Chains A and B, each alone.
Chain A
Amino acid sequence: MADISLTNLSKTYPNGFKAIHDIDLEIEHGEFVVLVGPSGCGKSTLLRMIAGLETVTDGEIKIAGQRVNEREPAERDIAMVFQNYALYPHMTVYNNMAYGLRNKGTARDEIERRVQEAAKLLELSELLDRKPRQLSGGQRQRVAMGRAIVRDPVVFLFDEPLSNLDAKLRVQMRLEIKRLQRRLGTTAVYVTHDQVEAMTMADKLVVMNAGVAEQIGNPMSVYEQPATQFVAGFIGSPAMNFLPAKLEDNGKAVQIENGPLLTLASKVNSSGSNRSIVVGIRPEHLVPTPEGAIGFAIEMIEALGAESLVHGLLPGNNGVNGVDITLRIDAATAIPSESEIRLHVSTDRLHVFDANTGERLN
């Protein structure tokens, strides 16, 4: 049985703005689900609907098999970690963690046991008497986690919990949260706008755009087989290169604008030649070779140490600049000194999208 199931979930604000469009999602027990998307895509709204902080306009939310649409947040058997942690500033770490349990009427020694256990797990035992303002960002983050853990809920909800930390701590806490979730085996729903966080943490990735779940799947399949051009552009850094093209030869080949004709590894399931499409190529799949089919003018090179990012343009028509292209190459690869080079792309690495709907065609 799924821990959380969302059926046809929709949310319309009183002013008529539709924030969430018919989302269906099943979350299995112990799964780590990440909702990712650009700001304003509705990912936080969706999380807050699960939490019970936003009302549901249409559809149903079930947690552990029970409909919870009308229940108060405290009655949903969930725990939430907020973006700014929302630790009560006047309470000690201990009281912050114990507050929810006290309200539930848990016995005093049971509270003591659970808080001590969570504190040990999170290495907070020394800090239980401190106030939140005496803690560092990472410690506050852990207290917020602790507050969630002591309640022993069916689901953890995370609302961009790492966005207030510096880059190094973020990577560390990312691992810590994931490790903790594995260890406790609790289902988690995690909201982030950072696609690296999304890729690394998720068992199941939900890519959202304008209130719609564009694609739901495991991170690698989303990366390798993005369902729409939006997903392809959003997941992966640097972003996928998009080249305008036309479909040729009954869907067996693509004619890149001002570029070569590339034969596809497998036929696109679309009828009609001369259809406008967009060809997507990941930066790491473009390889500089003298025999390459695609011409490329280098503009700038960013050396990142282990790898280098090469920015440049495809040749345009009649002196007009072509499309911006980024390629990612190993730092050991010698970058040709001339400014005009040729690139090779293996044809099974091409992603073909409809130019109008953005839907994947191959």
Chain B
Amino acid sequence: MVENRPFITFLSHGILILGVFIVLMPLWVAFVASTHPPENIMTSRIPMLPGDQFVNNYTEALTVGVDGAGKVPLSRMLFNSTVMALSIAIGKIFISILSAFAIVYFRFPFRKTCFWIIFMTLMLPVEVRILPTFQVVADLKMLNTYAGLSIPLIASATATFLFRQFFMTVPDEYLEAARMDGAGPFKFFKDILLPLSRTNIAALFVILFIYGWNQYLWPLLVTTNEKYYTIVMVIQRMVAVPDGEPLWHLIMATAMLAMLPPVTVVIVMQRLFVKGLTETEK
């Protein structure tokens, strides 16, 4: 819409700035709180300008850890979360792209049935099957392991469905040309289909990484050893200290640190998105 009316411009900018303010305000407060000594936050007035304890607070959080959360350094938890989120994202993409490949390109008995069974699991979120899943993981002795953290969350109907839809738009002629060129099914998958799905994979990776990173309930259940705590679940533990004051300055630093990796992934992958959108291949 091209309009040159000063009032409209003023109004729309005003609304946008207000929106940004509303979104950024809590983040700002969290950041400011993470740079002050604990006693400043406990007083009646919450400071609005950064303090001088930035380096101290973050060093303490990263290397020493917080009492309520088993005194494990945050760097360890950041590592745990990264392992979990990456395993989930990569595992999900790997499994679902292969199952979509099977469903779209191979004729086998009960192909349709398989698809519908996979599709139906879309309606069952992790929380619904959490008890049986926990039982299975416990029986397999996977409690307090990275495998236990990530494997049960890897199966994904959503990603399978997405890849299936994408594969169905790939012209059959590519497959036929590849057959002419002597490429077997896996060669076709590796050389043709995978490069064509690049932008889809990037998009899914972002979504799934954030999904994995933000897992709360599942890590809470399967980890009892502090060494395997993830950063997202630990924030709650820090707040719920039995006696005494929550260490707000460290909690806020943890929150800021927990936010960083997903934000980085979004910013980095965003470039690939745009590239994928402007370079339409096919």
Contacts and interface: CB of A to CB of B under 8 A. Distances in A.
B182 A103 contact: yes
A183 interface: no
Given A53-B176, A84-B171, A103-B182, A89 B191 contact: no
Interface in B161-196: 171, 173-174, 176-177, 179-183, 187, 191-192, 195-196
B173 A89 contact: no
Interface string A75-98: 100111011101111100000000
A90 B197 CA distance: 10
A73 B191 CA distance: 18
A52 to B, nearest CB: 8
Nearest to B179: A73
Interface in B200-258: none
A89 B181 contact: no
A78 B174 contact: no
16 contacts: A53-B179, A72-B179, A73-B176, A73-B179, A74-B179, A74-B183, A80-B180, A82-B176, A88-B177, A89-B281, A90-B192, A90-B198, A100-B181, A103-B183, A103-B187, A104-B182
Contacts of B5: none
Contact of B181 (A84, A103, A131, A133): A103
A301 B28 CA distance: 81
A84 B180 contact: no
Contacts of B174: 86, 88
Interface of B: 171, 173-174, 176-177, 179-183, 187, 191-192, 195-196, 198, 279-282
Contacts of A73: 176, 179-180
Query: Which bracket fits the contact residues of A?
Result: 20 to 34
Contacts of B282: 89
Nearest to A87: B177
Interface of A: 51-53, 72-75, 78-80, 82-84, 86-90, 99-100, 103-104, 131, 133
A270 to B, nearest CB: 47
Contacts of A79: 180
Nearest to A76: B180
Nearest to A132: B281
Interface centre among B177, B195, B280, B281 (most CB of A within 10 A): B177
Given A82-B176, A86-B176, A90-B195, A74 B181 contact: yes
Given A53-B176, A73-B176, A89-B282, 18 more contacts: A72-B182, A73-B179, A74-B179, A78-B180, A80-B176, A82-B173, A82-B177, A83-B173, A86-B171, A86-B174, A86-B176, A88-B174, A88-B191, A90-B281, A99-B181, A100-B181, A103-B181, A131-B281
Contacts of B192: 88, 90
Contacts of A83: 173
B191 A99 contact: yes
